[in-house]
Amino acid sequence: MNRSFAHRAAHRAPPRDARWRLGGGGARRPSVDEATGGTGLSPLIAQGSMRELGGVTAQRGEQLVRQTVSLLRSNVARATLDLSDELQGQLQAMQQELHLWVGANSNLKPYSNGQIGWLIRGGDERSRCDHDDLDHTARFHELLGDLPPAHELLSAQDLAALPLPPGRCWEDYSFLLLPGLLTKWYPGYMSQLTADMRRLGLEVAFSRIDTDQAVRVNAARLRHEVLELAEGGGGKKRVVLLGHSKGAVDAAAALSLFPELCDKVAGLVSLQGPHSGSAIAHDLANTSLQKGIALGVLERLLRGCKHAVLDLSYTARQEFVQQHPYPIARVPALCVATCDRRPCSLLKPVIDYVALRYGEVSDGCVCQSDALLPGVAHVLLHDMDHFGNPG
């Protein structure tokens, strides 16, 4: 009897795909291809919803994980090649969805339009004419080519071969490393660089500033550290400031706010420093919901200060620089500005957001043109994201 009942039920029940095709009153649901014009993308993305974009991104991540596990279980040797193809495909699909979402989201206003690179565009005529003359990228690659490969340790002989100002040697300098925003939460941040510099006999210190504090607060703390380093060498050593990301902005602010430091500092090396500001920070500062969430996390969970982010908006940077311009006549500087044009990067979604929204290249946190100071020598790299991952 049970068998007969099951047999009749199986014949009465519509096929699984037929049940999916039936809606209320027997109406037929459109397929994904029909809903998206044949693109294969989620129709919900076209609504411009941050929640839907996150949902689709999570689904793609889950699908990628499942495919990875399946490949590894079946054939480890073949998995490497297949995984590379799958990753590329998933990233391309994510870029398409991001493109559609950015275009459809009417609530996401292009707040940074006309702001990116304002510091370079706003320089005097002489600074703009000298911009090409200040490009030291070719010289940088020439010097880099004379050094051992990245997997080999740099020796004291290699260091001695690098050019210095006439009459100077490496022992004449103390190096102060300045960390970027939120990097106190990065395990091992700059630890290898610090260890290598000390191994080469260089005097190096890692700044004690709180990376998640306002620019003016960190500038005041840097004043004490610079004076302490300069006096520790009997007044004979000069300090070289090496700042990454917001650390470079903090360093430039210290020199602008406290002129007494200029005679103590030999130079500033800015690595990916958002001197003009950050499009990501500026867009965030002009929203309501997103700003509340992000700054809430920064203050409550990470024990930071909201001004650490807000100080990097274009509005805040314009106000500060107009009142306190960088003292280029007293302290030479070098700006290393990067972007990442590679197809695979952990920051690829953010890089694509800036490119699609504003047509600008970036490293995922800072646009390349925002990492430059007017009248300052610079090096431009096109294969490095903000995490410092080179191509």
* CATH number where 234 lies: 3.40.50.1820
* Helical packing angle, 76-104 and 348-358, nearest 10°: 30
Structure-token match 């004449």, residue found: 172
Whether residues 147 and 257 share a domain: the answer is: yes
Angle at 187 between CA 186 and CA 188, to 5 degrees: 110
**How far apart, in Å, are the Cα atoms of 116 and each of 289, 315, 354?**
23, 11, 10
Nearest-angstrom CA–CA distance, 342 and 352: 11
Select from 73, 104, 135 the last residue of a domain. 104
Residue 113 located in a structural domain: no
Residue 112 located in a structural domain: no
Walk along the chain (391 residues) and give the pLDDT tens digit of each residue. Answer: 444 434 444 444 444 444 333 344 444 544 444 544 444 445 554 455 556 666 666 676 677 667 766 665 665 555 455 556 666 666 667 666 666 665 565 456 788 999 999 999 875 555 555 566 899 999 999 999 999 998 899 999 999 989 999 999 999 999 999 999 988 888 889 999 999 999 999 999 999 999 899 999 999 999 999 999 998 867 788 999 999 999 999 999 999 999 999 999 999 999 999 999 999 999 988 887 777 777 787 777 667 788 999 999 999 999 999 999 999 999 999 999 999 988 888 889 999 989 988 999 999 999 999 999 999 999 999 999 998 877 6
Q: What integer pLDDT is reported at residue 117 of this predicted model?
A: 96
Q: What integer pLDDT is reported at residue 9 of this predicted model?
A: 42
Whether residues 364 and 327 share a domain: the answer is: yes
Whether residues 336 and 240 share a domain: the answer is: yes
Burial class (CB in 10 A: 0-12, 13-18, 19+), 140: middle
Residue 20 located in a structural domain: yes
- Its pTM stands at 0.72
Q: What integer pLDDT is reported at residue 290 of this predicted model?
A: 72
Whether residues 221 and 344 share a domain: the answer is: yes
Whether residues 73 and 156 share a domain: the answer is: no
Whether residues 277 and 325 share a domain: the answer is: yes
What domain range is 296 assigned to? Answer: 118-381
Whether residues 275 and 204 share a domain: the answer is: yes
Residue 219 located in a structural domain: yes
Residue 77 located in a structural domain: yes
Whether residues 241 and 122 share a domain: the answer is: yes
Whether residues 371 and 315 share a domain: the answer is: yes
Q: Domains in the chain: how many in total?
A: 2
Structure-token match 């102060």, residue found: 176
Whether residues 281 and 332 share a domain: the answer is: yes
**How far apart, in Å, are the Cα atoms of 245 and each of 68, 137, 149, 266, 367?**
34, 19, 25, 20, 11
Residue 314 located in a structural domain: yes
- The one-letter amino acid code at 168 reads R
Q: What integer pLDDT is reported at residue 102 of this predicted model?
A: 58
Select from 46, 70, 104 the last residue of a domain. 104
Whether residues 89 and 170 share a domain: the answer is: no
Whether residues 24 and 165 share a domain: the answer is: no
Select from 104, 127, 156 the last residue of a domain. 104
Q: DSSP readout, 308-344?
A: HHHTTSHHHHHHHHHHS---TTTS-EEEEEE-B--S-
Residue 391 located in a structural domain: no
Residue 319 located in a structural domain: yes
